[in-house]
Chains A and B, each alone.
Chain A
């Protein structure tokens, strides 16, 4: 739909003056809360930033199917199994909405997938942690999807139209994910001692990696400034992390669980929960590919791509055959 090649620039000699004027007009549109659409003029850096962010977001949804998919066959009841299947299917759908949004910027889905498979593209660090028990499925829904929602709600007002629209759809679907996760945790916490212990263990393992999902602290983040000016980002990493902590700590207390942070305390003066130091070295290691499951996730993704090749070949061959039959009949 979003035909490319409409944005042919003026002659090189005029380009710099023209660009400055265009850039100013672009920023005015952003400041006026106008949405930018695929064929509108945009600075190359804006396009690059969005392609990077949206494709990483898409990859995260796709890789994110693995840790939860791990428990589909072992879900404790048919009710839980049906919900988990629906949730994993949603994650796939979210990945596809996002790839489509990125494609409006002139990058082919095949190209993005290629980058992921070649190990050149990143995805969220959180999906490189293992799901060891059923309680992890509860913790992921409650915490990981909770963190994702915190991050995605402001993205519904992102300056780039197709991304914002994809986010609105994703957020609508995501709220069931968080609720089903919390319900799993609640059931375990109201169960026997071993079940409650399992829930506590899951919280212990997922809490800190979830806080890392929001990215490096503001002082160290390299993308925040321009992304904020261009209204791709509406809150800083630290602001979103704080919102998440403030929302989640009381939920943990309701479950009767202990947040694994000895320094966590409610600050009466600010009205926020103050947290202890985050182990950013662990985050760096996971992002660099050295997390517990990085290799496994990539191996699985590559194998799936290879295993599906015959399906794509068959579909393509059939489409060709139908087309030639159609031509012969005409």
Chain B
């Protein structure tokens, strides 16, 4: 990564989350640059909701997000694959019992 030659300082990056309608969770839709939270919210409205995509917007400074390392996804998530007894289909119930 090389630093830009620009003399202007960089404008912070924000992550945008939108709730499409009530009853749904806010979902990540993309990112944008803005000087502060108010401008980030306005830019998010202009950039990501031009066609009625949402009822509510969250903006979060990208730097505030801690992400897991994809290189360690084995260590993070692999153990769950061996725990089949966490799924309902692991248990045998006779058909006569009916739906359970």
Contact = CB atoms under 8 A, between A and B. Distances in A.
Contact of A312 (B8, B36, B65): B8
Nearest to A97: B30
Interface in B32-48: 32-36, 39, 46-47
Given A3-B67, A103-B13, A110 B6 contact: yes
Contacts, number: 81
A103 B31 contact: yes
A315 interface: yes
Nearest to B51: A173
A109 B70 contact: no
A93 B33 contact: no
B94 to A, nearest CB: 40
Central interface residue in A7, A107, A108, A318, by most chain B CB within 10 Å: A108
B36 A322 contact: yes
Contacts of B65: 1, 3
A114 B67 contact: no
B50 interface: yes
Contact of A39 (B10, B33, B67): B67
B71 A41 contact: yes
B23 interface: no
Contacts of B34: 315
Q: Is the interface of B mostly helix, strand, loop or mixed?
A: loop
Contacts of A110: 4, 6, 8, 10-11
Contact of A106 (B1, B6, B11, B69): B1
A315 B36 contact: yes
A267 interface: no
Nearest to A101: B30
Given A37-B70, A110-B8, A111-B4, A312 B35 contact: yes
Nearest to A113: B6
A110 to B, nearest CB: 4
A100 B35 contact: no
B52 interface: no
Nearest to B70: A39
Interface string B41-68: 0000011001100000000001001010
Interface in A81-105: 86, 89-90, 93, 96-97, 100, 103
A4 interface: yes
Query: Contact residue range for chain B?
Result: 20 to 34
Contacts of B35: 312, 315-316, 318-319
A304 to B, nearest CB: 15
A4 B31 CA distance: 16
B5 interface: yes
Nearest to A86: B50
A278 interface: no
Nearest to A322: B36
Contacts of B47: 93, 96-97
B93 to A, nearest CB: 36
Interface string A109-134: 11101100000000000000000000
19 contacts: A1-B28, A1-B62, A1-B65, A6-B69, A6-B70, A39-B70, A39-B71, A89-B50, A96-B32, A97-B30, A106-B1, A108-B4, A111-B3, A113-B6, A173-B50, A309-B8, A312-B35, A315-B35, A315-B39
